[in-house]
Structure formats: C-alpha cells, structure tokens
Amino acid sequence: MVSLFNFYQLGNSFFQSNNFVDWTHSWMITVRVSDLAKLGEQLRKAGVKVSLDEQAQPKGRFARLDDQEGNPLELWEPKC
C-alpha cells in the first residue's frame, strides 16, 4: 500500500469538472488500493460514507471519504 499526501490548487479543473471533490481543503491524503469496489463495500457495511467516482479516470478509479474531523481521504485504484 502506498500513501500520498497531495496538495491541490483550489478549484483544480480536473476535480471541478466532475464535481467529485468538495474543495473546502487544499490537500488530501491519497491511499493506493488494489480493489476499490471491495474496500468501498466493506467501508459502507461498517457505516462509513464513501463516494465512489463512477467514471474511471485516465489514472484509474477514485473514491472519497472524510475522517471524523472532516478531513478528506482519497482511495485510488490505479489503472492496470
């Protein structure tokens, strides 16, 4: 597993175009996962609200959730 701490420019056109990310923060921790669908289902069963980006992006698939303090966490399954 690889974790990344990413800084983004507020209003980044990539995320703004698909309305996937709420830009109340200018940073996000990204965790690389091997099976996004399976992990998303496990998190939902545990009561965690997960937003799965239904449209695959050029670099893979993404999901978003917030920690208990409202800080963003991104899950990333790279394109094979």
pLDDT value of residue 77: 93
pLDDT value of residue 23: 53
pLDDT value of residue 46: 94
Phi and psi dihedrals of 5, rounded to 5? -110, 110
pLDDT value of residue 5: 54
Tens digit of pLDDT at every position of the chain (80 positions): 455 555 555 555 545 444 555 556 566 788 899 999 999 999 999 999 999 888 878 889 999 998 888 888 889 999 87
Contacts (Cβ under 8 Å, ≥6 apart) of 36: 52, 61, 62, 63, 75, 76, 77
pLDDT value of residue 10: 54
